[in-house]
Amino acid sequence: MGQLPELMTVAEVAEALRLSDETVHRWARQGRMEYVDICGVKRFHYTYIARLVSGETAMPDDVSAEVIVIDSAA
């Protein structure tokens, strides 16, 4: 197995983007931010957040962000 991507918590993303935790949750729910759903817990790829912070990736205005859901029941 290759190296796994570093994942960030909602609190870490909020701190990096200088937002509240609730704003990060809301934007993720609205599809404005890509995230991974691991059994109901949101995690964000470090590289995606780093691109947002650097301005390399724009925050989408529409609801087209990618969401990956991992469910333990599968």
Provide CB contacts within 8 A for 9, sequence distance 6+: 43, 44
Provide CB contacts within 8 A for 53, sequence distance 6+: 16, 17
For residues 2-10, average pLDDT: 84
Question: Does the pLDDT at position 29 exceed 80?
Answer: yes
pTM, full prediction: 0.75
Tell me if residue 12 falls in helix, strand or coil: helix
CATH topology of domain 7-70: Multidrug-efflux Transporter Regulator; Chain: A; Domain 2 (1.10.1660)
pLDDT of residue 45: 93
CA atoms within 13 A on the CB side of 24: 21
Query: What pLDDT, in 10s, does the model give residues 50-63?
Result: 998 888 877 666 54
